[in-house]
Structure 1
């Protein structure tokens, strides 16, 4: 499979030859050549489909299989942001719950939860995450631009939860309470922060969709 990522508001364009396949969540495809065979399924059974629904990806997944050579299929970003390609090579990554755009069928996707149910529930974004492993190409969608860090052993970062995009499996993920009543009430950072501890790679995103929505809502007309 050949691919390119193009545009200021990016689109992923993939060229598949006969028999090659690409997987995406239902509704993610933007345009394609005639000649693809489409198979819709839960991607491993109803329970896996329901688990994926918690991440916002929906119960069903579509597999697009090329019936001849040189067929194009495209996936546009849903918001201003960045599309990232990863060659898995047996690695494992944890991402925010809405990061998945498309992948080769050999990439395995799971829904994972933070270790503490109560912390995850109160921490909002941090409760439900996506885990990717296996072989092949994986395409992810970030909100805004991305910034990359490589944490040493024991090195820690505290991050507003919406800015966490992805990290390697070796990085430990926890939810930490903001200290001090005044800080919680007037600091504007909320009650919880994500605590990531190395070693491993961490990639953050600059414009979480929740932050963008909060800036737009005051300008949306409402009926009196």
Structure 2
């Protein structure tokens, strides 16, 4: 994966992954289009804090990619879009999957040779490559993928995770082989990618946002007894078992608190669990 390659005077490629198609994450160095003082002030503070506009670029060479509905900004070249639903059965499956996960049911396929630019945003992007594998991600994270990757729904496999895990009954399952673009709420550098080898990970909160498909997810008491849980002050924890990878975003809750309550919310010594009872 290449990083930090200058594309134009104001545009830098911050990451790249090459498969059948080439995926690039571009970053605008400096937005200078403000036409009023209020916008100029906002852009100044954003620039000073490192909040930059980013955009995903995909280079097709006789290849195909699937996009989240509404993700396309513009394209150039000999590229055709196919949004066929596969008949009534295919349409029904897509509608059910979209309804259960919260993702868009329709993900058009773009095929040919040329360039595709997705909608720019101030969000963050991660490029991952699957090799006959699957990952379970939080709803809204999927952004684009190669044709060999399927996007569907994964149901929680036990009652505790379905009712107590704060993840809902279904999450988004991304499986197959190829490159996937995920849109993240925090920079990838702030993600702790925890490798489990026949091991157990316990998380006090719902900031585990990705896991490989062979990781078992349950919700359990933090201590062996109800009295022990009460005295420890923790209550319930999300538990991940097996061999694979879990992505943790510990700063996600920090940003949420800053946005809602300000810095004062971070100075309290009270617990931050999202799974307390």
- Which residue, 156, 161, 166 being the options, matches 1:124? 166
Task: Mark the CA change 1:6 to 1:45 in structure 2 (over 3 Å): closer, same or farther.
Answer: same
Q: Distance in 2 between matches of 1:174 and 1:157?
A: 11
* Structure 2: gaps of 5 or more residues: 1-20, 28-51, 224-228, 263-277
Q: Does 1:97 align with 2:139?
A: yes
Q: Distance in 2 between matches of 1:121 and 1:183?
A: 22
Q: Does 1:108 align with 2:153?
A: no
TM-score using structure 1 length? 0.76
What's the CA shift string for 1:107-137, capped at 9, x where partnerless?
Answer: 1222012122464233222532222221222
What's the CA shift string for 1:29-86, capped at 9, x where partnerless?
Answer: 23333653223345743223322233221221111223xx332333545x533x2222
1:147, distance to aligned residue in structure 2 (A): 1.3
Aligned to 2:37: none
Q: Is the 8 A contact 1:13 1:75 kept in 2?
A: no
- Which residue, 186, 192, 217 being the options, matches 1:173? 217
Q: Distance in 1 between matches of 2:129 and 2:247?
A: 16
Q: Is the 8 A contact 2:71 2:118 kept in 1?
A: no
Q: Which structure is higher in RCO with an 8 Å CA cutoff and minimum separation 6? A: 1
- Which residue, 136, 139, 163 being the options, matches 2:178? 136
Q: Does 1:202 align with 2:246?
A: yes
Q: Distance in 2 between matches of 1:211 and 1:38?
A: 40
Q: Distance in 1 between matches of 2:248 and 2:74?
A: 29
Aligned to 1:3: 23
Aligned-CA RMSD value: 2.9
What's the CA shift string for 1:85-109, capped at 9, x where partnerless?
Answer: 2222212222222221111121122
How does 1:24-173 map onto structure 2 within 5 Å?
Answer: 24-33=67-76, 35-42=78-85, 44-66=90-112, 69-77=113-121, 80-81=123-124, 83-117=125-159, 119-125=161-167, 127-144=169-186, 145-153=190-198, 155-173=199-217
TM-score using structure 2 length? 0.63
Task: Mark the CA change 1:116 to 1:172 in structure 2 (over 3 Å): closer, same or farther.
Answer: closer
The DSSP-based 3-state class of the residue aligned with 1:124 is: coil
| Count of residue pairs the alignment pairs up | 207
Aligned to 1:14: 58
1:192, distance to aligned residue in structure 2 (A): 4.1
Task: Mark the CA change 1:195 to 1:118 in structure 2 (over 3 Å): closer, same or farther.
Answer: closer
1:5, distance to aligned residue in structure 2 (A): 1.6
* Structure 1: gaps of 5 or more residues: 220-224
Aligned to 2:44: none
